Structure 1
Amino acid sequence: MQKLLIFSVLLLPTLFLPCLLSAADLRLIDAVRRGDRNAVRELLRNHVDVNVAQPDGSTALLLAADRNDPELVDLLIKAGANVNARNDYGATPLYAASAGGNIEILEILLDAKADVNATLVRDETPLMAVADKGNLDAVRLLLDHGADVNARESKGGQSALMWAVAGRHIGIVKLLLDHGADVRARSKGDFTALLFAAQQGDGSSGRLLLEAGADINEIRKSDRMTPLIVAAASGHSEFAALLLNHGANPNLTDDGGRTALHYAALDEKRVDLVKALLGHGANPNPRTTKDSPRNYNAGVSFKGATPLLFAASRGNMDTVRALIAGGADPFMTTDDKTAPLHVASWGGTPYARDWTEDEKKNLLAVTRLLVELGADVNSAGEHKWTALHGAAYKGVDSVVEFLVEKGAKMDAFDEYGQTPLSIATAVITAGIKDYYYQSSRVVRQSTADLLLKLGATPLAQSGVQTLELFSKER
């Protein structure tokens, strides 16, 4: 949550400011800072200015409240201290006490008619401070004294309710709602309390917000994210299930055409959410309208990708099976003809790290399933890459061997004049020489040896126009 930090009263030591303090008698300030009650009483008997302020505007009363010293607070108020004096940051003694959470001091100040809605310079209120801290008794006390439950701070446009939800303070959320907190208010970032709850995965707050009238299908204007999509993207399957059970629409899309099902399919641990979404009527074959922001290193565009293609690219076997059982088309391609088989064979991210052995096993399992279902091992996607080109690039030898066994053509050229063998040996071809990503290529010697063993045409006879070789080897 993009939230303002609670203001911390700045107490500038008088020791370091002799030139600034020479014009004021700050003995009272110093005594309060030390917590010396006897010195404070003596100074007050001698009629020292009880409202004298240090350079940042903080008075002795504010400092006493900040120190959580109710005896000094009471003593200063009885001596005539201004309970609403503000320092340069807008902090009053009540705000300092709220940030500290001292109920006794809050009661003393409120009984002395402290302004319960006095704000900091960015409009943070005492109520926000105690809501953020999770101090239920303090929230109740301030509300009973007229705190504005719907006040907003000016930087983020957030309310006490939003702060309480973000902090997962369920008791405070309920209390604020009972006092009329606006459940549909939006921050400057276009977040509502329900969107914050979805981001946090706080089902208890989510239920209360829905009961109070939150719009379950509300849309954040900047990216068209809904609570369900936010929950799925944040990995909060239980919260997403809560929303589905309350009637959330599973087919709404964000600004890239991604549904909650797309986000759920990315993580193998969310297969239960995938099943829940399908069980609540999610379209199993929605297609994205933009390339995925998570796909910056994939080498191919994911514009037009389905959830199944997302799952295949991560080797999420259980998710792939669940999607197919729910009606997903295992052959549906992206706009540029990249198929689930293509991304399954190399993991969908050719410029990322090498895969672990377990990850390679998962990719092989998904590749095998798709081929068994009828995927064409020689189909070409974006850049005319076949599944074998991708597997050779990432050095997934088990997938290479399986694809060749199923009839994959080892001497197929992509649009840059590359064969699987030239890719495995990190050859720069005439057609690819100016493409930046070549710098990340490495020699996959075991893959090259395997391809030659399986019958690939040696480079010298293959027609590949070789320009240079990389020396890195894995």
Structure 2
Amino acid sequence: MKSTRILAFIILLLLFAVTVVTALTVDDLRLVNAVKNRNIATVRTLLKQHADPNAADIDGTTPLIWAAHNGDAEIGKLLIAAGANVQATNRYGVSALIEAATLGDAPMIDALLKAGADPNSTYGAGESPLMLAARTGSITAVKLLIDRGANVNGADEFKGYTPLRFAATENQPEIAKLLIERGADINARSRRFEFGELKSASGGALMERAEGGMTALQYAAREGNIEVGKVLLAAGGDVNAPEPQHKFTPLLIAIYNGKYDFASLLIDHGANVNDGSLYMAIELRNMDTYSNRPNPPETDRTLTATDIVKMLLAHGADANLVFDKTPPQIQTQGTVTVPAGATAFYRAVKAADLPVMRMLLDKGANPSLAIKNGGTPLMLAAGGGPARAQEEEVVDKAGRADPIEVMKMIADAGADINAVNDQQNTALHLAAQRGSDKIVQYLINRGAKLDLKNKQGKTPAEVAPKRTAELIAKLTNGSVSIENSAGAVQDSPDVAARAILEANCTTCHNLDRVKTKHFDKESWQGLIESMRDKRGGPKDLSNEHIQVLADYLSKTYGPAGK
């Protein structure tokens, strides 16, 4: 009986304890909720009733952290006066000072610092209140933190970002100026160099993963933040500082990201214009010539890629600068890397960019300067790029100029028509292999030799794929007029048309595979047109050719049902 009474008493005590704890929890949450709802009158009442100012929400967020989150400095001061812990953090590591700094809330920051909050406390990967405040543009908040001992060169643990880096990326020139005045290292580098740090205006990324670091000026260049860029340059930011892996300078980064106005600022401050920027400006101007992505916006704030090309040349950019490695590329679907040894002129030829070609030639570009495999700009225009099977018709695709116009500009500038690459192929060899009647005819008329042999001992005529009667005539008789280049041999249009189709179509089905389908004339015509429209298709095949060829094939192999 005695033991039963004892057990009953214990149960009553436990029930009382649970009731008390529940009541306390409800009371404590009343304060949290009042602060959340920004109800200062209720907060005052609860604090007078001795509510615990450090009672935390379910995730550990105290009333003071909530007050800082809401930007309620008056409530924050009430909580501090009631004994709130200014160093408390929730389960995410966020303190009241972190919240206040994120908002740039100077009154709250001041109250917290006076109450003993640590200005060098961090959260997450090591972001400090000063880093967060630097983003906001609140000069007062930043001054308060620095005056209380915040480290102006403190870096986060993961990427080594400093307060100055955040000011640069968020375009906060006054903050950047203050940080520099208080001792920030103008040329400090981030600890890690990630894919995303070199963004591009076209949406691409570098081909190789990079390691290393970037300076505040490089970050400003990436974002095109001219105002903060001026502050950094005036304070002695290194205008030519390269990142370690790809040697991207601020100028190259600015152009890579389509920030042409920032690029102009850097050029005016003495940036090295022979860092690859000329090539990159032409690259960005002509992105659509060999990728499935559009060009980045032509105009930045006021300047275009063309303006930057002109500016670079006017400031002494070497039009014949040869890259000693594969130029930095933007990796996009369909990209074909321009090989080592390419020049800005070679890139302009690749895009059939006649205006830029003319600018470069006027500044002394050598039209015969070859890449490392001996390929010349003329060979590229004629269809003999370094990866011909992938680059075929790339000049046609550009939509800027006919290949003949491109070659004419190159030849008129003094290029050697009969130059050979490391396989002893000439431009005529490559054009014949491509099967382009117009280009072959043009080269012959400009003096291309028909008897030169490549390393395989073949002449241009001998490398032509199933050459048509017209093509043979051109390769063996330079008197064939250019007016006939699109009409083939007039007495045998069916043979000529079929030869042109088979010689030029590198990606479509072989006729021998489809000729047994017994298509009618309309079906043959549709098939041939679709072949012509494909990349690598027979662009020299005229509508007249298609009609003649469709009629010939339907008669030869019979329409459907035969």
Per the normalisation by structure 2, the TM-score is: 0.64
Measured after TM superposition, the shift of residue 334 of structure 1 is: 1.1
Structure 2 Cα separation of the partners of residues 353 and 375 of structure 1:
21
Measured against aligned partners, the alpha-carbon deviations of 1:66-114 in whole angstroms (never above 9, x if no partner) come to 0122232121111110112122332211111121233332232233332
Equivalent residue in structure 2 for 1:424, among 490, 497, 504: 504
Q: Distance in 1 between the 2:278 and 2:219 partners?
A: 20
In 1, Cα distance between equivalents of 2:121 and 2:104: 16
Letter in 1 for 2:339: F
Quote the residue 1:186 is aligned against: 189
How many Å separate the matches in 1 of 2:266 and 2:53? 56
Residue among 439, 444, 453 paired with 2:537? 444
Q: Partners in 2 of 1:414 and 1:42 — Cα distance?
A: 99
Determine if contact 2:55/2:63 at 8 Å carries over to the other structure.
yes
Deviation at 1:331, TM superposition (A): 1.2
Q: Which has more radius of gyration?
A: 2
Which of 26, 43, 56 is equivalent to 1:40? Answer: 43
Deviation track 1:211-262 (CA, whole Å, cap 9, x = no partner) reads: 322222222112222222223333333433433333333334xxxxxx2222
Match of 2:244 in 1: 221
1:213 maps to amino acid: G
Matched, 1:26 2:26: no
Answering whether residue 308 of structure 2 is matched by residue 285 of structure 1, we say no
Whole-Å Cα distance in 1 between the matches of residues 132 and 310 of structure 2?
41
- Which residue identity lines up with residue 36 of structure 1 in the other structure? N
Aligned twin of 1:367: 407
Alpha-carbon distance change, 298 to 223 in structure 1, aligned in 2, over 3 angstroms: closer
Q: Which residue of structure 2 aligns with residue 320 of structure 1?
A: 357
Which residue matches 2:85? 82
Please give the per-residue CA displacement for 1:29-58, whole angstroms capped at 9, x wherever unaligned: 222223333332333223222112234322
Q: Secondary structure at the match of 1:174?
A: helix
| Structure 1 range deviating more: 232-241 or 52-61 | 232-241
Superposition map of 1:161-310 within 5 A: 161-188=164-191, 189=193, 190-252=213-275, 259-268=276-285, 269-292=304-327, 293-294=329-330, 297=334, 301-310=338-347
User: Does the 8 Å CA contact 2:436/2:504 hold for their aligned counterparts?
Assistant: no
Give me the whole-angstrom Cα distance separating, in 2, the residues matched to 1:352 and 1:78.
77
Per the alignment, in what secondary structure is the counterpart of residue 399 of structure 2? helix
Secondary structure of the 1:96 match is helix
Structure 2: distance between partners of 1:371 and 1:81: 82
Tell me the secondary structure at the aligned position of residue 290 of structure 1. coil
Amino acid in structure 2 at the alignment position of 1:237 = Y
How far, CA to CA, are the matches of 1:224 and 1:231 in structure 2?
A: 13
Structure 2: gaps of 5 or more residues: 1-20, 194-212, 286-303, 451-458, 472-499, 511-530, 547-562
Partners of 2:39 and 2:408 lie apart in 1 by 78
Structure 1, unmatched stretches of 5+, are: 1-20, 253-258, 431-437, 454-474
| Structure-2 change in CA distance of 1:351 and 1:318 (3 Å) | closer
Moved more, 32-41 or 330-339: 32-41
Please name the residue that 2:208 is paired with. Answer: none
Deviates more, 1:60-69 or 1:297-306: 297-306
Structure-1 separation of matches of 2:81 and 2:249: 53
Distance 1:361 1:224 in 2: 33
User: Normalised by the size of structure 1, how large is the TM-score?
Assistant: 0.75
Residues of 2 paired with 1:424 and 1:323: CA distance?
A: 32
* RMSD between superposed Cα atoms in Å: 4.0
1:145-194 Cα deviation digits (max 9, x unpaired): 33221111122211111111111112221121122111011102210011
Q: 2:361·2:413 contact (CA, 8 Å) conserved in 1?
A: no
SS at structure 2 position matched to 1:98: helix
- Give 1:265 shift: 2.8
Amino acid at match of 2:278: L
Alpha-carbon distance in 2 for matches of 1:277, 1:144 = 44
